[in-house]
Amino acid sequence: MDYSQFLNMQAELSLLAVIVILFVADLFMCPDGKNGKGVYNTCLPVVLLTVHTLLNLCPLCHEAGEAFGGMYQHTPMMSIVKSILSIGTVITFLMAHKWLSREENLVKQGEFYLITLFTLLGMYFMISSGHFLMFFIGLETASIPMAATVAFDKNRYESAEASAKFILLALFSAALLLFGISLIYGVTGTLYFDGIGQAVSNCEGFNPVMLLGMLLFITGMGFKISLVPFHLWTADTYQGAPTVVTGYLSVISKGSAAFVLFTVLIKAFGAEGLVQAWDQAFLWIIIASITIANLFAIRQNNLKRFMAFSAISQAGYLVLGLMDGTAQGMTSLVFYLLVYMVANLGAFAVITVVEENTGGITIDSYNGLYKSNPKLSFLMTLCLFSLAGIPPFAGFFSKFFIFMAAFNAGWHWLVLIALINTVISLYYYLLIVKAMYIIPNDNPLPGFKVDCYSRTALFLCVAGVVFLGICGIAYNFIDGFAYGLDNVAKCCMDAVDCCCSQSCH
Amino acid sequence: MSYTLFILLLPLISFLLIGIVDLDIPKTGKVWSHKVAGLIGTASLGIVTILSYTTAYQYFFCTPRLSDGTLPTLVPYNTTWLPLGDLHFDLGILLDPISVMMLIVISTVSLMVHIYSFGYMHGERGFQRYYAYLSLFTMSMLGLVVATNIFQMYLFWELVGVSSYLLIGFYYTTAPAIAASKKAFIVTRFADMFFLVGILIFGYYTQSFNFSFAGTVEYADNVAHFIPCNPETALVKNAAMTVLPISLVLMFIGGAGKSAMFPLHIWLPDAMEGPTPVSALIHAATMVVAGVFQIARMFPIWIEYAPQSLSIVVWVGAFTAFYAAAVACAQSDIKRVLAFSTISQIAFMMVALGVCLPGHGEHLNHSGLGYMASMFHLFTHAMFKACLFLGAGCIIHAVHSNEMALMGGLRKYMPITHWTFLISCLAIAGIPFFSGFSSKDEIVTACFQYSPWCGAWMTMVAAMTAFYMFRLYYGIFWGTENKEAHAHHTPHEAPWTMTLPLVVLSVITVGTGVVTTLGGFLHWEWASFGSIVSASGIPYTVHFDPVVASVSTVVAVCSILLATWIYKDEKQPIADKMYAAAPRLHRWAYKRFYMDEVYQFVTHRIIFARVSRPIAWFDRHVIDGFFDFLAWGTHKTSALIKGFQSGSVQTYAFWFFLGTLLLLLIMLF
């Protein structure tokens, strides 16, 4: 056996190393929180994960490769997405410091980092999978520990309820997904993505069973990305889960699933007839996601619930990049993911610090926040502007690219509907800005000093929001590694040609 | 030459630093903290100036020329900022003779203004804000001239407009400053709209925003791609000639707005409400010549695809030159006189660009004289007009008024200001051995080559220039002294921070003048401006046309003598008689031929009353109503579907399943 293929799994192996170190280190931590142990506890995972991210970004891993006979795939684009996810996790850990320093959480600090990193590891494997079994293992590794983090405040009734809802519906969607995978296996006789792609393009005619299998795969991913109509768990879970976990769920978990959806659809279901079919399905899913989520978001007063609906509609925009199926679509999707991550985590960072310091979690309680906490209000405004897509912040450009990708692919009406929905989303994002700046309030939430961890998280997010907007370098960088349907189609053609010439001889 | 990037970055950094950080350091005391902002701005500008001069030295003297004798176009830095499929917006730095020359002009004048402002703005509220704006302006202007593509130029063009708006409205507590800043912004924005449309047409048809002049044929090919035509070369060019002139003329309208060409000039005189150093930097030396620069930048395309349309530039320029000179003869506010003089001089540059037709008649060897003359005049004008404005600033500083009536006889009190002002007046009048002579003479020569009428017309305007400048000079430094005003406040010379820039600028003026005048007469090749900047890029020496040179000198001297005769003495019987003979003409000229009133009438009576009001009604009732309905509908729908989110897991699973089935149906059929 050639062990050099393990080098391709650098990202996963180094993350596993981080997990092991943390696991051992946790044994020696004093749980009583005296003598500044809490600081040490947050520092270690953040530093380790940062090192891991930097390792991931180094040029060594910018070469494509595979391991275990194609079960595990590696491309530069995947390593970029993994880096984005791990940066998001670093920000989440920074945000979590204050929450984990609560008395009841001090004992469990180490668990939080470990469980979260396990979900991240699962996502890594999911992203890099080249085979449906690998994909499914990754998916479940990501989602079962996730339920544990949702229930992290287990003494709080809402947290437990959220977790129960999450795990039940996750099971339901996993069952459907498995059923879909078995149907696909029945039709094609293989579970390799490439093999399925070739089998589908070779077989003639239109197979409804294949279609059903694909649809069930889409529903499984739709659940993870929380697209309408698979989104109903989102609001309850987001509201009940600890705020930090909500931030993590809304960005990292969602983002990884969206990327995997894109790559698997392209690799396995990129054949002529199937593309039209999933285009049709996504057309309705996107319209429903964006519109229904926006309509719900207007009515919310609880900020976490509000962010849940905002996240659903953002997921709709994210998947819009899929409609193109080209390299441009992939670039715009990944760029959207990156920009959405910094803006959303920035907003969640503000929500977390406000909640931890004052307990305010409703939009009403933010009335007049500007007077007591001008800097926080300003940062929140920047993040919301970016989420709404106001130039010159990053959100404008990411929306612009994704709309352009869809428009170029000929989805003019869809882009128009998405644009109209942008206006609605602007309305509800501005509701918060209005609460903070305009609505008069004699007793706003008291002013407080933000701890340095949250400060770092906020700084990272806002820097991202501002600089990703002004500098197009990030987009160009991602664009260099993107691939889409056109490339895959070309590869398939080559493979078919190869087969033909062989059979001729 | 990647260090050129710092020419843009340093002013940007100092803008952010001065603009955002509170420099009022409590321990250092009021006097010191007051100056920190200015010192930071000036220091960064000093480095930028050094870098610009280094760039110029390296570019003009160390870069090997191409085989055909042209200087190469260098792009030390370029990056794609916003990709749009095949089209993309780039940001970068492009070095060619005119952009390097502009680097010199902008950094020199800006540095002088930074130093000068220490004295002029001393003790002013918002000193820090002032220097932040200056840095922003300098950064934008430098970015404009080194743009690698028309879109980057537009980006910085607007930034320049914003900083101009901010600086005109610097004294934002006074009503005229607010009105002036709004007027400047609205008028230039109105013109910029045409510029943008021109850019978009250009980009759409040529599939490129980049300035790639070596391959103007490429533009034609791309345009031909859009307009179906026979792929023969002649026809390809025809296709380009149907589209490109339109976009170029639209761009020219944008340039005319920035450069205050008639009838878009109305903002510039009012812009004098800003601090005087700002007028010197923005509204005399740098920003207002952006329009000229834009035409010079697009010139290869003009000459290739729209040579006929250049006559529009000539007509607009020639009329503006005359109009502004006529108005300048009657103004009493010294900054207004200088403002109209600026308009008139920029019009000279415009005319020079317009009359530049290579291969015109038998003057084949003079091809591109106008282009060179225009750029040369841009350079010399920037120096002496900045000097004049800064001198005017010293005078206003001393007298506390802009009105000529309160001045007179100031030469005794302010010797340095007096001499530098005189030198600049001689330069702008076109007296030999001063820089304005060489450049203006070349413009007039180019005009005579284009058509004798044009040449005669511009000579007349040059005569008027000499007249009104010396009317101004005598009105300030000689003439009737307002003893009453000077009695309880004796005017005094300005501090060294203010006089030093005056001296530097007038030394440049005299130096350039002596070298180029001698060089022109004695045929020194190295002393000719054309050896570094010319239309085709191939250096050539200018030989003064002795007839034109002597005629324009005689005319200028005569005008000066006339002004001396009328305005030098304490009693001015001739001026009074002239006024009595044609009071209406004087009144018209004083009121700028009622152009502002015409604008007021058109905008208020016609556009606001007849067009805007009905549209406003439609907007308020129909469109607003429609959107209110939409918002109402959205809220209602939102209330209608709230049951969807019931909170029970069974329902969620049910919807999940139902959704899957529905999607299957959609996919199957």
A277:B79 CB<8 A: no
Mutate to test the interface with A, among B632, B652, B655, B662 (most CBs of A within 10 A): B652
Q: Taking CB atoms and an 8 Å cutoff, what residues of chain B touch A235?
A: 645
pLDDT tens per residue, range B582-626? 777 777 777 777 788 888 888 888 888 888 888 888 888 888 888
A277:B634 CB<8 A: no
Strand pairing partners for A74?
A65
A223 touches chain B (CB under 8 A): yes
CA-CA distance, B141 to B289, in Å (whole number)?
11
| Mean pLDDT calculated for residue range B438-460 | 87
**pLDDT above 80 (res B237):** no
Of A355, A254, A233, which Cα lies nearest the Cα of A302? Answer: A355
Residues B198 and B126 in one domain: yes
| Mean pLDDT calculated for residue range A286-308 | 89
Residues B143 and B231 in one domain: yes
For residues B223 and B202, is the Cβ–Cβ distance under 8 A? Answer: no
For residues B253 and B162, is the Cβ–Cβ distance under 8 A? Answer: no
Question: Which residue from B645, B652, B666 is facing A284, i.e. has the nearest CB?
Answer: B666
Tokens of B229: 């035509």
Domain containing B122: what range? 1-298
Residues B403 and B257 in one domain: no
* Amino acid B361: pLDDT: 43
- C-alpha angle with apex B39: B36 to B42, nearest 5 degrees? 150
CA-CA distance, B569 to B591, in Å (whole number)?
26
Confidence of residue A500 (pLDDT cuts 50, 70, 90): very low
The CA distances from residue B428 to A214, B347, B465, B512, in Å, are 80, 14, 7, 13
Confidence of residue A242 (pLDDT cuts 50, 70, 90): very high
φ, ψ dihedrals at A471, nearest 5°: -95, 125
For residues B655 and A229, is the Cβ–Cβ distance under 8 A? Answer: yes
Confidence of residue A259 (pLDDT cuts 50, 70, 90): very high
| Mean pLDDT calculated for residue range A99-111 | 82
pLDDT tens per residue, range A473-497? 777 777 777 776 665 555 545 555 5
B642 vs B414, higher pLDDT: B414
Q: Taking CB atoms and an 8 Å cutoff, what residues of chain A touch B666?
A: 280-281, 284
Residues B90 and B56 in one domain: yes
- C-alpha angle with apex B50: B48 to B51, nearest 5 degrees? 65
Confidence of residue B31 (pLDDT cuts 50, 70, 90): low
Question: How many Cβ pairs closer than 8 A exist between chain A and B?
Answer: 92
Residues B548 and B614 in one domain: no
* Amino acid A194: pLDDT: 86
**pLDDT above 80 (res B532):** no
Q: Please tell me what DSSP assigns to residue B363.
A: -
How far separated are the first and last CA of chain B, in Å rounded? 63
**pLDDT above 90 (res B304):** no
| Neighbouring residues of A150: CB distance < 8 A, sequence distance ≥ 6 | A159, A162, A163, A166, A237, A240, A241, A242, A245, A249
pLDDT tens per residue, range B544-556? 778 888 888 888 8
Residues B523 and B454 in one domain: yes
Which single residue is written with the structure tokens 């020194």?
B524
pLDDT tens per residue, range B129-179? 888 899 999 999 999 999 888 888 999 999 999 999 999 988 888 888 888
Residues B168 and B266 in one domain: yes
Amino acid identity at A322: L
Confidence of residue B529 (pLDDT cuts 50, 70, 90): confident
* Amino acid B581: pLDDT: 78
A34, exposed or middle or buried, with CB in 10 Å at 0-12, 13-18, 19+?
exposed
Cα B209 to chain centroid distance, Å, stands at 22
pLDDT tens per residue, range B361-396? 444 444 578 888 888 899 999 999 999 999 998 888
Report the percentage of chain A scoring pLDDT > 70.
Answer: 91
A172:B84 CB<8 A: no
Q: Taking CB atoms and an 8 Å cutoff, what residues of chain A touch B80?
A: 472, 476
| Neighbouring residues of A359: CB distance < 8 A, sequence distance ≥ 6 | none
**pLDDT above 80 (res B577):** no
**pLDDT above 90 (res A89):** yes
A443 vs B320, higher pLDDT: B320
Mutate to test the interface with A, among B20, B88, B660, B668 (most CBs of A within 10 A): B660
Confidence of residue B85 (pLDDT cuts 50, 70, 90): low
Q: Taking CB atoms and an 8 Å cutoff, what residues of chain B touch A162?
A: none
| Neighbouring residues of B544: CB distance < 8 A, sequence distance ≥ 6 | B441, B445, B520, B521
| Mean pLDDT calculated for residue range B453-471 | 89
CA-CA distance, A398 to B549, in Å (whole number)?
61
A292:B641 CB<8 A: yes
* Amino acid A200: pLDDT: 81
Nearest-10 Cα torsion for B281, B285, B288, B289: -150
B83:A292 CB<8 A: no
**pLDDT above 80 (res A35):** no
Of A466, A248, A451, which Cα lies nearest the Cα of A344? Answer: A248
Number of domains chain B is built from: 3
- The residue out of B257, B278, B298 marking a domain boundary is B298
- The residue out of B526, B558, B590 marking a domain boundary is B590
Of A419-433, B385-399, B467-481, the least confident: B467-481
Of A439, A438, A421, A165, which Cα lies nearest the Cα of A298? Answer: A421
Confidence of residue A119 (pLDDT cuts 50, 70, 90): very high
B567 vs B281, higher pLDDT: B281
Which single residue is written with the structure tokens 């990411």?
A398
| Mean pLDDT calculated for residue range A229-238 | 89
CA-CA distance, B661 to B667, in Å (whole number)?
10
Please state, rounded to an integer, the average pLDDT across all residues of chain B. Answer: 83
* Amino acid B587: pLDDT: 79
A278 touches chain B (CB under 8 A): yes
**pLDDT above 50 (res A470):** yes
Strand pairing partners for B92?
B78
Residues B605 and B579 in one domain: no
Tell me how crowded residue A213 is: count the other CB atoms within 10 A of its CB.
Answer: 25
A172:B660 CB<8 A: no
Helix, strand or coil, per DSSP, at residue A361: coil
**pLDDT above 70 (res B19):** yes
Of A16-30, A200-214, B119-133, B551-565, the least confident: A200-214
Cα maximum dimension of chain A: 87
Question: Which residue from B641, B652, B660 is facing A233, i.e. has the nearest CB?
Answer: B652
Using only C-alpha atoms, chain B has a radius of gyration, in whole angstroms, of 28
Mutate to test the interface with B, among A157, A177, A224, A232 (most CBs of B within 10 A): A232
Amino acid identity at B505: L
Residues B325 and B455 in one domain: yes
- With CA atoms as reference, the chain A residue closest to B656 would be A230
Confidence of residue A134 (pLDDT cuts 50, 70, 90): very high
Residues B40 and B138 in one domain: yes
pLDDT tens per residue, range A352-370? 999 988 888 888 888 888 8
| Neighbouring residues of B345: CB distance < 8 A, sequence distance ≥ 6 | B377, B381, B385, B428, B465
CA-CA distance, A45 to A25, in Å (whole number)?
10
- The residue out of B526, B556, B590 marking a domain boundary is B590
* Amino acid A309: pLDDT: 92
**pLDDT above 50 (res B471):** yes
Tokens of B513: 């003048």
A232:B84 CB<8 A: no
For residues A189 and A250, is the Cβ–Cβ distance under 8 A? Answer: no
| Mean pLDDT calculated for residue range B492-503 | 84
Of A24-33, A294-303, B1-10, B73-82, the least confident: A24-33
Helix, strand or coil, per DSSP, at residue B95: strand
Tokens of B136: 């922003």
CA-CA distance, A1 to B464, in Å (whole number)?
94
B363 vs A414, higher pLDDT: A414
**pLDDT above 60 (res B227):** no
- With CA atoms as reference, the chain B residue closest to A169 would be B653
| Mean pLDDT calculated for residue range B201-213 | 77
Confidence of residue B213 (pLDDT cuts 50, 70, 90): low
The CA distances from residue B256 to B137, B199, B305, B380, B571, in Å, are 20, 15, 20, 20, 41
Residues B156 and B227 in one domain: yes
Residues B130 and B193 in one domain: yes
Q: Taking CB atoms and an 8 Å cutoff, what residues of chain B touch A236?
A: 647
